[in-house]
């Protein structure tokens, strides 16, 4: 049997690269229209797991309460 300690480090990285709310390991940047109507990336990030929107990477990792980063979209009733 091989030594598994080499494959699984005993001291994992202290940097946590996952959503602090749901644990997902990926996100994508939010795209929205600017004042001229052109689609552009915003600074906001949306978690691919829970769909929450976060202001920046640090907030995504910590899972802090989400802050509105874009104006709400009106929906037809």
Is the CB of residue 66 less than 8 Å from the CB of residue 22? no
> pLDDT per position in the chain (77 positions), as tens?
555 555 555 555 566 799 999 999 999 999 999 999 999 999 999 999 999 999 999 999 998 754 545 444 433 44
Report CA-CA distances (Å) from 53 to 25, 35, 57, 72. 14, 21, 11, 12
Residue ranges per domain, the chain? 16-62
Report CA-CA distances (Å) from 68 to 39, 55, 60. 19, 8, 13
Distance from C-alpha of 18 to C-alpha of 58, rounded to nearest angstrom: 10
- pTM score: 0.62
């Amino acid at each position: 049997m091989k030594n598994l300690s080499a494959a699984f480090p005993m001291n994992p990285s202290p940097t946590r690269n996952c959503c602090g709310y749901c644990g997902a390991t990926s996100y994508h940047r939010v795209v929205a229209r600017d004042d001229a109507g052109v689609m552009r990336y915003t600074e906001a990030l949306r978690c691919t797991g829970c769909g929450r929107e976060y202001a920046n990477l640090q907030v995504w990792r910590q899972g802090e309460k989400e802050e509105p980063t874009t104006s709400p979209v009106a929906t037809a009733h």
